[in-house]
């Protein structure tokens, strides 16, 4: 009897072995909810190249734009859960759970998080002749002038709109918001003095901060950003204005765990490649640590971000539908 049980156990182990060594045998598509050339697209293409080398199959990027990223996310949620259709999304994936009151998918249960990919600081900036010299002065100016001041953002659910919410909440004062089709035109109008205040990703603002074409007051990460001589918002007295533009990689829910782990392993390996690290440095963004680039951490973090932003969006009363 013992011998028979041993043979059965050995047979089960042999059957399980191929699943544990699950390989991806077909081309993989990373669906990106934003246009080619933007930060999410650039990050996705770097990750795709690295993952392709790790998996031994082509990994391509497909840009599917519209509706704040929900069209792309909906397509991936409905895709066959075999690991060949993935989603790369940023912080906006967490906020759509509240911004959109009717979604054809559930932000948390319709996807299998594979790991976080990157973190980028937001920067609090203003027009070149804005009177404040530090963040305390900026907040005082916002409280003094109120809605006479203009605040830019580039669309509902975007990181710069979310950061603007935190800024207004901290100041206890609503500003007049002006919506642009992207960060570039907002920065152009700011340099020309037509927009007063903006909170945008360091990837976009760093060149203009360095050459003095816009004023900068702080970065929104817990630590300072190399290459930018700016305090953190916590150092400047406002730890409540804290956020990053993070990216994560997702598969459809129901993707076998062995496939999820293989994809996650390939992601973690790609994030260590020298070419990717160098390019991330140019983008003023940091790759996720091996611990954060795991399904377990990503799943927990996504839930925390959904819970964090829900009351902020509800208090603002700003919805996309």
Among the three residues 184, 219, 254, which one is the final residue of a domain in this structure?
Answer: 219
Residue 229 lies in a domain: no
- 14 CB-contact burial (10 Å; exposed 0-12 / middle 13-18 / buried 19+): exposed
pLDDT at 116 over 50: yes
Residue 283 lies in a domain: yes
Handedness of CA 233, 235, 238, 239 (dihedral sign): positive
In the prediction, which pLDDT does 321 show?
A: 82
Residue 282 lies in a domain: yes
| Domain CATH code at residue 288 | 3.40.190.150
Residues 6+ apart with CB under 8 A from 246: 90, 91, 116, 117, 118, 119, 120, 288
pLDDT at 316 over 90: no
Q: Can you give the pTM of this predicted structure?
A: 0.88
Band (pLDDT 50/70/90 cuts) for residue 11 is very low
Task: Provide φ and ψ at 56, rounded to 5°.
Answer: 80, 20
Residue 239 lies in a domain: no
8-state DSSP, 225: P
Helix (H, G, I), strand (E, B) or coil at 159: helix
Residue 240 lies in a domain: no
Q: Kindly report, residue by residue over 147-201, the tens digit of the pLDDT.
A: 999 999 988 888 999 999 999 999 999 999 999 988 999 999 999 999 999 999 9
Percent of the chain with pLDDT over 90: 84
Query: How many domains would you assign to the chain?
Result: 2
| Domain CATH code at residue 194 | 3.40.190.10
Query: What residues make up the domain containing 150?
Result: 121-219
Report the pLDDT averaged over residues 287-316: 96
């Amino acid at each position: 009897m013992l011998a028979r049980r041993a043979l059965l156990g050995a047979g089960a182990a042999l059957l399980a072995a191929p699943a544990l060594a699950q390989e991806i045998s077909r081309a993989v598509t990373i669906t990106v909810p934003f246009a080619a050339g933007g930060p999410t697209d650039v990050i996705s293409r770097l990750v795709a190249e690295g993952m392709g080398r790790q998996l031994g199959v082509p990994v391509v990027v497909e840009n599917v734009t519209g509706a704040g990223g929900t069209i792309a996310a909906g397509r991936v949620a409905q895709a066959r859960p075999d690991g060949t259709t993935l989603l790369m999304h940023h912080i906006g994936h967490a906020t759509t759970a509240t911004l959109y009151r009717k979604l054809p998918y559930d932000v948390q249960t319709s996807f299998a998080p594979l790991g976080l990919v990157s973190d980028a600081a937001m920067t609090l900036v203003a027009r070149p002749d804005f009177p404040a010299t530090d963040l305390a002065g900026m907040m005082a100016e916002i409280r003094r002038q109120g809605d006479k001041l203009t605040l830019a953002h580039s669309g509902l659910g975007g990181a710069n709109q979310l950061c603007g919410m935190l800024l207004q909440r901290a100041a206890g004062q609503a500003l007049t918001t002006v919506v642009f089709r992207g960060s570039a035109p907002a920065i152009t109008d700011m340099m020309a003095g037509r927009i007063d205040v903006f909170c945008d990703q360091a990837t976009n603002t760093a060149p203009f901060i360095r050459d003095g074409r816009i004023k900068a007051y702080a970065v929104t990460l817990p630590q300072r950003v190399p290459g930018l001589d700016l305090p953190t918002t916590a150092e400047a007295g406002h730890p409540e204005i804290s956020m990053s533009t993070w990216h994560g990689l997702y598969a459809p829910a129901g993707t076998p765990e062995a496939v999820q782990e293989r994809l996650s392993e390939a992601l973690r390996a790609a994030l260590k490649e020298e070419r990717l690290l160098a390019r991330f440095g140019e983008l003023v963004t940091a790759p996720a640590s091996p611990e954060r680039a795991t399904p377990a951490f990503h799943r927990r973090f996504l839930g925390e971000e959904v819970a964090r932003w829900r009351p902020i969006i509800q208090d603002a009363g700003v919805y996309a539908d």
